[in-house]
Amino acid sequence: MHSVKRLCLAHFWVAFAFFAAACAIGTWQMWVRSPLGASVGTPGQYYMLVTAHGVALAFVLTTFFIMGFGYFVATTALDRQLPGKAWAWGAYWLAVVGVVVAFAPIMNGQASVLYTFYPPLTGSAWFYIGLVLLVVASWIWAVLMMVAMTAWKRENPGRPVPLAMFATVANAVMWLWTTVGVAVQLLFQVIPAALGLVHTIDVGLSRTLFSWTLHAIVYFWLIPAYIAFYTMVPRAAGGRLYSDTMGRLTFILFLVYSLPVGLHHLLMDPEHGNATKFIQVVLTAFVSVPTLLTIFTITASLEIAGRLRGGRGPFGWIATLPWDRPMVLATGLSFVMLGFGGFGGLINMGYGMNAMVHNTSWVTAHFHLIFGGSVVIMYFAICYEIWPRLTGREHPTLSLLRLQLWSWFVGMMVMTLPWHWLGLQGQWRRVANFNYADPIIAGWGPWVIVSLIGGIILLASALLFLRNLAVLHRGAVLAVARPLYAIAVHPPQRVPAVLNSFGLWNVLVLVLMLVAYGLPIAQFLIEPSPSAIVHRMR
């Protein structure tokens, strides 16, 4: 483990402390939105806490988890020391300071602008400055990942980079591209507005820059789950990875196609022409390819495992899989949620259907299911897998781990399925309280209460998760060393250079971004649109 244990644990505990607190806030939100909490809290408090919930989960949980996981992979998959460990600790403290600086104004009610910022509304400049610090810290992490891989390649000329590390670096490279949009938006538009240096803000440009980040950031959050699918699940199931090449292609496709597609979040916005939206929707269709590749490859890998364990017939191998192992169970549950969520995603992607669900609860339900559900459940499984390696102690029992994964799955389904349904009926997202006296809205009440029950199950599950990890810090059962990463059916001896490095792919990303975002951004500079007056929250 080359002594990054404390570094990884420090990252993970920040991530999960914010995660648990945010789940409690989320449940409160659901209560306030339901008929049961109609007189609880003011809209001001609601938006303050939605901002806290969104920022904690979308920015803090994810960034800290991914950084910690990256350090773990860089030392275990490459089996060498982490280069620049002092930098890694520096980045950690920078990120912690950033989070404190961002959360102080949120909890003070001075930054209730939601995690997507919503210009021309602006909150305290400290909120944005704190987030910039967090992003800068993650940049340091991204560079360290690339340095670690390059150093390994120098020591192992011609050999394929282990898949887990290749994927981690793909994510780091993608993250550097991804954050350009939001960084430009914050540094040149939002922070000057928040500081009072400018009085107007070009909202169209601002939304366009944010959309640059908005899709790829979701894949940044998702890739750890896919790393687990490819490199941990086959081994946990007792089998082998069906194809290492498929894995490399998947992560490369994520890098290439996650970025030039963000305009699909602006399909209802007036500032872009139909053709530029269309081009990005076509490219969006291609980001489903890596997910389909993954479903295929992982199912094939699981089938290998199931048949090795004696499964027969077209479906018999499913029953023989070791479902009692957390990693395997989490994968099964994750795939079910991915199925429902992926179907919802196809609807969001279609221009006409998107028009019907735009800005409704459908959207919030969708990303809770696919991100809070299928992705976060894999974060849990990853932690259950690596915590014994970090603390040197074994889980005293697996049944509480299974209970936690099942309850997260059940809670997420119970919460999000009715939430989708409400969206289809036109329930707005980001609304603090509904007038249940209105006969049309009255019919929504029971469904929101069902969602609230789902939220309570999720909160209980989140607390159980913390407990399951915490016991490993003082338990008596010592961990036995066992291999973590899966071996491929045909372990690659060498792979084409394009599947072992990112030079060509960066060039292609550049070309795609120039075409996809060139005109949409340039139009604001060629013919500036009427700017909106900055609305300061102070």
Partner 1 sequence: MSDSHETPSIDRRLLDQPWRFWSTVAVAGTLLGGIILGALIIPVVQGRSAGLDAYTAICRALGILPGSPAQPQPSDRVQRTPVSQVVWTSELLHILARADPARGRTKALESCAACHGETGIAVAPDVPHLAGQSGPAIYKQLSDYRTGSRAHDLMAGIARALDETALADIAAYYAGRPMRNPNPATLAPAPAEIITLVELGDPRRGIPPCASCHRAGSGGPIETPVLAEQRDEYFIQQINLYASGQRRNDLYARMRTIAAQLTPSEIAGLAAYYRAGFR
**Which residues contribute to the site for partner 1 (CB under 8 A)?**
42-43, 121, 146, 150, 153-154, 157-158, 169, 173, 198-200, 256, 271-279, 282-283, 286, 435, 437-438, 494, 496-504, 506, 508, 511-512, 515, 519-520, 523, 530-531, 533, 535-538
Give the pair of three-digit tokens for residue 188: 């040149």
Instruction: Provide the minimum distance between the beta carbon of 90 and partner 1 in the complex, in angstroms, as a whole number.
Output: 23
Instruction: Provide the minimum distance between the beta carbon of 379 and ligand HEM in the complex, in angstroms, as a whole number.
Output: 9
The answer to whether the beta carbons of residues 458 and 412 sit under 8 Å apart is yes
Place of tokens 């849990």: 380
Q: Cα separation of 370 and 348, whole Å?
A: 13
Give the pair of three-digit tokens for residue 160: 């394929």
Active-site residue, from 307, 309, 358, 430: 430
Is residue 358 annotated as part of the catalytic site, yes or no? no
Residue type for position 334? S
Q: Cα separation of 284 and 286, whole Å?
A: 5
Instruction: Provide the minimum distance between the beta carbon of 117 and partner 1 in the complex, in angstroms, as a whole number.
Output: 13
Q: Cα separation of 4 and 60, whole Å?
A: 20
- 48: Cα separation from own chain's centroid: 22
Is residue 494 annotated as part of the catalytic site, yes or no? no
Q: How many residues does the chain have?
A: 538
Q: Do β-strands 532-533 and 200-201 pair in parallel, antiparallel, or remain unpaired?
A: antiparallel
Is 342 a binder of ligand HEM (CB under 6 A)? Answer: no
Q: Cα separation of 374 and 133, whole Å?
A: 29
Instruction: Provide the minimum distance between the beta carbon of 69 and partner 1 in the complex, in angstroms, as a whole number.
Output: 20
Is residue 367 annotated as part of the catalytic site, yes or no? yes
Is residue 430 annotated as part of the catalytic site, yes or no? yes
The upper half-sphere exposure of residue 29, i.e. CA atoms within 13 Å in the direction of its Cβ, equals 24
Choose among Cu ion, ligand HEM, partner 1, none what residue 503 binds, the Cβ cut-off being 5 to 8 Å by kind: partner 1
The answer to whether the beta carbons of residues 281 and 351 sit under 8 Å apart is yes
Is 215 a binder of Cu ion (CB under 5 A)? Answer: yes
Judged by DSSP in three states, 158 sits in coil
Q: Cα separation of 147 and 102, whole Å?
A: 29
Pick 14 or 23: Cβ nearer ligand HEM:
23
Residue type for position 105? P
The upper half-sphere exposure of residue 7, i.e. CA atoms within 13 Å in the direction of its Cβ, equals 26
Is 429 a binder of ligand HEM (CB under 6 A)? Answer: yes
Host H or E run for residue 456: helix 445-470
Instruction: Provide the minimum distance between the beta carbon of 240 and partner 1 in the complex, in angstroms, as a whole number.
Output: 24
Active-site residue, from 12, 226, 242, 367: 367
Give the pair of three-digit tokens for residue 174: 């993608």
Which of 54, 119, 181, 345 is in the footprint of ligand HEM by CB under 6 A?
A: 54
Which one-letter DSSP state was computed for residue 478?
Answer: B
Choose among Cu ion, ligand HEM, partner 1, none what residue 50 binds, the Cβ cut-off being 5 to 8 Å by kind: ligand HEM
Q: What part of residues 454-483 is at the interface with ligand HEM (CB under 6 A)?
A: 455, 458-459
Which of 30, 137, 191, 499 is in the footprint of ligand HEM by CB under 6 A?
A: 30
Instruction: Provide the minimum distance between the beta carbon of 150 and partner 1 in the complex, in angstroms, as a whole number.
Output: 7
Choose among partner 1, Cu ion, ligand HEM, none what residue 215 binds, the Cβ cut-off being 5 to 8 Å by kind: Cu ion
Is residue 368 annotated as part of the catalytic site, yes or no? yes
Choose among Cu ion, ligand HEM, partner 1, none what residue 525 binds, the Cβ cut-off being 5 to 8 Å by kind: none
User: Which residues lie below 8 Å from residue 411, measured CB to CB, with a gap of 6+?
Assistant: 454, 455, 456, 457, 458, 460, 461
Choose among Cu ion, partner 1, ligand HEM, none what residue 407 binds, the Cβ cut-off being 5 to 8 Å by kind: none
Which one-letter DSSP state was computed for residue 401?
Answer: H
Is 371 a binder of ligand HEM (CB under 6 A)? Answer: yes
Which of 376, 413, 495, 499 is in the footprint of ligand HEM by CB under 6 A?
A: 376
Is residue 210 annotated as part of the catalytic site, yes or no? no
Choose among Cu ion, ligand HEM, partner 1, none what residue 455 binds, the Cβ cut-off being 5 to 8 Å by kind: ligand HEM
Stretch that binds Cu ion, among 107-115, 179-187, 209-217, 330-338 (CB under 5 A): 209-217
Choose among partner 1, ligand HEM, Cu ion, none what residue 499 binds, the Cβ cut-off being 5 to 8 Å by kind: partner 1
With CB atoms as reference, the residue minimizing the distance to ligand HEM is 26
Pick 300 or 449: Cβ nearer ligand HEM:
449
Judged by DSSP in three states, 481 sits in coil
Pick 219 or 409: Cβ nearer Cu ion:
219
Left (φ > 0), alpha (ψ -120 to 50) or beta: where does 483 sit? beta
Q: x/- site string to ligand HEM, residues 210 to 239, per CB under 6 A?
A: ------------------------------
User: Which residues lie below 8 Å from residue 93, measured CB to CB, with a gap of 6+?
Assistant: none
Instruction: Provide the minimum distance between the beta carbon of 264 and Cu ion in the complex, in angstroms, as a whole number.
Output: 6
Q: Among residues 221, 291, 294, which one has the least CA distance to residue 257?
A: 291
Residue type for position 189? Q
Instruction: Provide the minimum distance between the beta carbon of 116 and Cu ion in the complex, in angstroms, as a whole number.
Output: 12
Host H or E run for residue 533: strand 532-533
Active-site residue, from 2, 358, 389, 429: 429
User: Which residues lie below 8 Å from residue 516, measured CB to CB, with a gap of 6+?
Assistant: 259, 260, 261, 263, 276, 279, 280, 283
Place of tokens 């992607």: 349
Pick 71 or 210: Cβ nearer Cu ion:
210
The answer to whether the beta carbons of residues 384 and 327 sit under 8 Å apart is yes
Residues that bind ligand HEM (CB under 6 A): 23, 26-27, 29-30, 33, 50, 53-54, 57-58, 61, 114-115, 364, 368, 371-372, 376, 429-430, 455, 458-459
Write out the catalytic residue numbers. Answer: 215, 219, 366-368, 429-430
